[in-house]
Amino acid sequence: MSQKVSQGTNFYNDVLAYFDQAAALTNFEPGLLEKIKVCNSVYKFYFPIELEEGKVKVFEGIRVQHSHHKTPTKGGIRFSTFVDEDEVKALATLMSFKCAVVDVPFGGAKGGIKLSPIQYNARQLEKITRRYTTELIKKNMIGPAVDVPAPDYGSGSREMAWIADTYSAFKYDDLNALGCVTGKPIGQGGIQGRTEATGLGVFYGTREALDNTEDCKKLGLTPGVKGKRVVLQGLGNVGFHSGKFFSEGGAVIIGIAEREGGIFNPNGLNVEEVFKFRKEHGSLLNYPGAKNIEPTLATLELDCDILIPAALENQITQENAPRIKAKIIAEAANGPVSKDAEEILLSKGVLIIPDLFLNAGGVTVSYFEWLKNLSHVRFGRMEKRFNQNSVSNIIKMVEKATGKSLDEKERKIIARGADEIDLVRSGLEETMIFAYNEIREIKMKDKRITDLRTAAFVDSINKLGVAYQSLGFFP
């Protein structure tokens, strides 16, 4: 068995262990809990692609649908050589609970293609993506009311556009065909704010945790994001935007790690400049003014207030957990902390903000995109000008009554109507704030629950259990 298969298996076993631990704190009967726990459908398949004239390669694809308590199911598609069945099952399972925690009406799913995207050109990737989509269509495992994929590690809006176009070609009479996938480009049915959604959700969720004075006191921190020292692992989409929003919120990014190593500057790093440097040089090592850190995982051990692992699973293990100095671990990635490591960290008083809550910003805004595709109208189109005119009329009445006038710049700021991006970010902020306080309240009310992850699992299990009971399958 390869090392990666072992990691995928460990990841899945960790998810199931977290589930069992939380399930024991609920009142559902064992049969219902077993139904909530297991994956409903696992479809693994192999398909040939002619990459060059006369040269054919067979690729492995997989799609897992964990729960159909609500439909459609929802989850990303990974393009990675590390894709394996247990990893995808773990991610699909987490997605069910993630959607439940943030009250998004989807079941969980996940998929992947076993390949390294950098080894193929755009034309080859398009052929691979379209054929993968065709295989899903054959088995009725994709559609706006069935299963709705999204971007994940190694894939992006370009691949989602290919999926949507392929589905539309087969289902030309489906009025809602664009809703078969989310994370699409804006001009092809996407939504503003989707690209940065997961990173922004990480910021909103962590900020809410830092706004609690009582919890911050226990951690030895002052409330608020401003001035907090942050270490970031991963400079992909999620890591980049997490770092960007934390910087804008007044935090100081002192360390950044990628696969080739890490860099450190106690006075702060400019995330956008580091990203640009890495793109130009192929590595973030030797970034001007920063100290190189090798190996990569050593960056996680820097003395900081907030550690944001935004790469892959099992980055913090039983081996390196004792050396972690962060007071808060904000799980931007899925499963970055192993279960054994979590026990060590909790014993040290570290606050772990769990993945099934914290990185749910992506699926939340994907939900908004799906709603947009089904309604066939851009958010803000119906009400923006009406609201703007209403506020303008109020301003005029106040000016007339007081005899004082606003200048044109002030008037535009106050009377501005909400665009799609404003509504999306407002909805995401509300979702993350409400969900955090909901799981924290569960933790505070039940003395048996000592961490936020268990509270989040209990919350999601309760919601799934009620949903299955309402279907009439269980008493």
On the question of a common fold for 3-15+36-188 and 197-358, the answer reads: yes
Question: What is the domain partition of the chain in residue ranges?
Answer: 3-15+36-188, 197-358, 384-417
CA 62 to CA 315: how far, in whole Å?
Answer: 24
Q: Are 141 and 147 in contact (CB under 8 A)?
A: yes
Q: Where are the alpha helices (DSSP H) in 220-338?
A: 237-248, 271-281
pLDDT for position 8: 66
User: What pLDDT was estimated at residue 135?
Assistant: 97
pLDDT value at residue 384: 84
What is the residue type of 14? D
Is the CB of residue 168 less than 8 Å from the CB of residue 143? no
First to last CA, the chain: 42
Please give the C-alpha separations between residue 21 and each of 14, 29, 265, 411, 461, in angstroms, as whole numbers.
10, 15, 40, 55, 11
Q: One digit per residue, pLDDT tens: the chain, 475 residues?
A: 334 444 667 889 999 999 999 999 999 999 999 999 999 999 999 999 999 888 999 999 999 999 999 999 999 999 999 999 999 999 999 999 999 999 999 999 999 999 999 999 999 999 999 999 999 999 999 999 999 999 998 999 999 999 999 999 999 999 999 999 999 999 999 999 999 999 999 999 999 999 999 999 999 999 999 999 999 999 999 999 999 999 999 999 999 999 999 999 999 999 999 999 999 999 999 999 999 998 888 999 999 999 999 988 889 999 999 999 999 999 999 899 999 999 999 999 999 999 999 999 999 999 999 999 999 999 888 888 888 888 888 888 888 898 888 888 888 888 888 899 999 999 999 999 999 999 999 999 999 999 999 999 999 999 999 999 887 766 6
Q: What is the pLDDT of residues 105-144, one digit of tens each?
A: 999 999 999 999 999 999 999 999 999 999 999 999 999 9
Distance CA 424, CA 190 (A): 12
Predicted pLDDT at 392: 85
pLDDT at res. 314:
87
Query: Tell me, what DSSP letter sits at residue 403?
Result: S
Other CB atoms within 10 A of residue 385 CB: 11
Rounded Cα distance between 42 and 155, Å, is 21
| Topology of the domain comprising 197-358 | Rossmann fold (3.40.50)
pLDDT of residue 411: 81
* CA–CA gap between residue 470 and residue 461 (Å, rounded): 14
Q: Please tell me which residue in 110, 228, 339, 463 is annotated as part of the active site.
A: 110
Looking at residue 353, its amino acid is I
> What local confidence, expressed as pLDDT, does residue 84 receive?
93
The pLDDT value recorded for residue 137 is 97
C-beta atoms surrounding 409 within 10 Å: 8
Tokens of 114: 């076993």
227: region left, alpha or beta (phi > 0 left; psi from -120 to 50 alpha): left
The CA-based angle 313-315-316, given to 5 degrees, is 120
| Helices and strands, number each (H, E), in the chain | 16, 12
Active site residue 127: no
3-15+36-188 CATH fold: Rossmann fold (3.40.50)
| The dihedral sign for the CA sequence 208, 307, 261, 272 | positive
